[in-house]
């Protein structure tokens, strides 16, 4: 596969999870990668001890890996309960508690993309109330991201795996992006284009790329079916990544796939080592 112009990063919350968190940056570096991303790694703690934050910062630096994407607190990931910011009560409180912590951590390591996952619909709560809460919290997050020089990412998940999530199409995610930008006037809310989720939704990936690349701040990939590495399913990544490039996308492409039964280090054979580093 010819991806010589694509800048890849590895999501250390789905790959190398057989290792403790602090050992994963070095493992990614050993596999040839210089850039990584993370879901919020402390699922029970929106505001962990400074020592934990410092230890992760040190692990990233020691490995020589750049953190290029970070999720705000989103509950337990992976799982159908993902997302927090639109869930009234304790979950949205945790999200708000996390906003400044995550933004400051991103600033301290030079991370310029922060992903805010919408929450599931909740029984007994008017969807309009949830959407109002979501906008309030996304505005808060967008302002925090702006203060640290980052974009705010809004991601569409997929309906089969996240049936209670209301953001399960590219147009819906774009609608939220536009709403946040209109509310803040900052223009730093962007679409996170996850080709696996969009494929699972049955969307026309060519059309999504052609229509929305201009509003896209980050891309993630996994093959479909199975959410494995490229070549394990039916998606043509040569075609898709080439189309993204033609549409003007020159940002990061996150490898957010499952390694399968083998060690994570064996899940990159589809990508020549010479093309794994951001400096290639």
Cβ pair 260, 16 in contact under 8 A: no
* Residue 124 clears pLDDT 60, i.e. is over it: yes
Mean pLDDT score across all residues of the chain: 96
Share of the chain above pLDDT 70, in %: 98
Q: How confident is the model at residue 27 (pLDDT cuts 50, 70, 90)?
A: very high
User: Which active-site residues does the annotation give?
Assistant: 155, 256
* Residue-wise pLDDT tens digits, 60-105: 999 999 999 999 999 877 766 679 999 999 999 999 999 999 999 9
Q: Structure pTM?
A: 0.97
For residues 173 and 153, give the distance between their C-alpha atoms in angstroms, rounded to a whole number: 10
Domains and CATH numbers, the chain: 7-275 (3.20.20.150)
CA–chain centroid gap for 47, Å, is: 19
* CB-facing half-sphere around the CA of 270: CA atoms within 13 A: 19
For residues 31 and 14, give the distance between their C-alpha atoms in angstroms, rounded to a whole number: 15
* Residue-wise pLDDT tens digits, 245-263: 999 999 999 999 999 999 9
């Amino acid at each position: 596969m010819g991806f010589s112009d694509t800048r890849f990063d590895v999501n250390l919350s789905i790959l190398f999870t057989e290792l403790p968190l602090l050992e994963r940056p070095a493992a990614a570096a050993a596999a040839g990668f210089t850039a990584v991303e993370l879901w919020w790694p402390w699922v029970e703690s929106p505001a962990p001890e400074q020592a934990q934050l410092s230890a992760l910062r040190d692990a990233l630096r020691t490995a020589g890996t750049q953190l290029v994407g970070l999720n705000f607190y989103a509950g337990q990931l992976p799982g159908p309960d993902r997302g927090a910011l639109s869930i009234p009560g304790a979950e949205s409180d945790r999200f708000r508690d996390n906003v400044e912590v995550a933004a400051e951590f991103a600033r301290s390591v030079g991370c310029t993309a922060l992903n805010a996952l919408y929450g599931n619909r909740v029984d007994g709560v008017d969807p309009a109330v949830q959407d109002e809460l979501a906008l309030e919290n996304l505005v808060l997050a967008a302002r925090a991201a702006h203060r640290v020089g980052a974009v705010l990412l809004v991601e569409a998940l997929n309906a089969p795996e996240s049936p209670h999530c209301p953001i399960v199409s590219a147009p819906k995610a774009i609608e939220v992006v536009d709403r946040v930008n209109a509310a803040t006037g900052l223009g730093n809310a962007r679409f996170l284009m996850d080709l696996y989720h969009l494929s699972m939704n049955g969307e026309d990936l060519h059309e999504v790329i052609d229509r929305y690349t201009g509003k896209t701040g980050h891309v993630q990939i996994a093959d479909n079916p199975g959410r494995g590495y490229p070549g394990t399913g039916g998606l043509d990544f040569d075609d898709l990544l080439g189309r993204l490039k033609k549409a003007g996308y020159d940002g990061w492409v996150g490898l957010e796939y499952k390694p399968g039964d083998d060690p994570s280090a064996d899940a990159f054979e589809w990508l020549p080592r010479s093309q794994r580093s951001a400096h290639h």
